[in-house]
Amino acid sequence: MLHYKNRVQQLLLLHPIQILVVFLFCSIVISFAFSVVYDYFGIDAKKDVQDVFQNKLLSKFYLSVILAPIVETFILTIIPFYVLKKLSVTNSYFIVFLLSFIFAIAHTYSIYYIVFAFISGLFFNLFFMIIENKTNLKTAFIYTAIFHSLYNLFAFIMNTI
C-alpha cells in the first residue's frame, strides 16, 4: 500500500501537461485492450456509434473531437462536480465514480459502449480531480476537455483508417 501511495504522490508532483500525457497514454492502452477483447468475442461495439455518425467526415470530426469534449466535460463533469461541492460531498472516490457513471449513461449506444464509457470516464474524472486539486476549476475544465478531445481524436483516427 505504501508503494501505491508513493506512486500517487509522484504523479501529483508532475506538471498538468505531464499528467495529461500519462492519462492519455493509459486511456489509449485501455482502449486497445477493450478492442482486443471485443474482437476476440466478436462484439461490434462501434456499430451503433457509427450509425449515429453517418454524416460527412468533417462533421464527424467536428462533433467528436471539438464539440463533444467541451460540451460533455461541462455538462457531465463541471456541473455535477459543482453541485456535489455545494452539497459538501468531499469523498473523491465517490465523486469520480458518480461522474463516471453519469458519463457512461450519457453514452448509451450499446451496453458494451456504456461499460467502455464508464472506464473512460474514470480516467477523465480522475484526471479532472487531480488537476482541479492542483490548480482550479477553470484550469481543470480546460485540461480535461483537451484530454477528452485528444482521446476522441485518437479514436477518430483509428475508426477512419
Q: Which 3-state string (H, E, C) describes 83-118?
A: HHHHCCCCCHHHHHHHHHHHHHHCCCCCHHHHHHHH
Please tell me the predicted confidence (pLDDT) of residue 48.
52
Q: Domains in the chain: how many in total?
A: 1
Please tell me the predicted confidence (pLDDT) of residue 3.
58
- State yes or no: pLDDT of 52 exceeds 70: no
Tell me whether residue 7 is in a domain: no
Tell me whether residue 129 is in a domain: yes
The tens digit of pLDDT for each residue in 62-72 reads 989 999 999 99
| Residue 13 to residue 18: CA distance in whole angstroms | 10
pLDDT band of residue 54 (cuts 50, 70, 90) is: low
74 secondary structure, DSSP code: I
Percent of the chain with pLDDT over 70: 88
Tell me whether residue 92 is in a domain: yes
Tell me whether residue 9 is in a domain: no
Tell me whether residue 141 is in a domain: yes
Tell me whether residue 114 is in a domain: yes
pTM for this model (two decimals): 0.81
Tell me whether residue 138 is in a domain: yes
The tens digit of pLDDT for each residue in 89-115 reads 999 999 999 999 999 999 988 898 899
Tell me whether residue 8 is in a domain: no
The tens digit of pLDDT for each residue in 2-48 reads 555 566 677 778 888 888 888 888 888 888 787 777 777 777 665 55
Mean pLDDT of 118-143: 96
14 secondary structure, DSSP code: S
- State yes or no: pLDDT of 49 exceeds 60: no
Supply the range of the domain harboring residue 147: 16-160
Q: Which amino acid is at 3?
A: H
Cβ contacts of 150-154, under 8 Å, gap ≥ 24: 150/20, 150/24, 151/24, 151/27, 151/28, 151/31, 151/120, 151/124, 152/64, 152/65, 152/68, 152/69, 153/65, 154/24, 154/28, 154/31
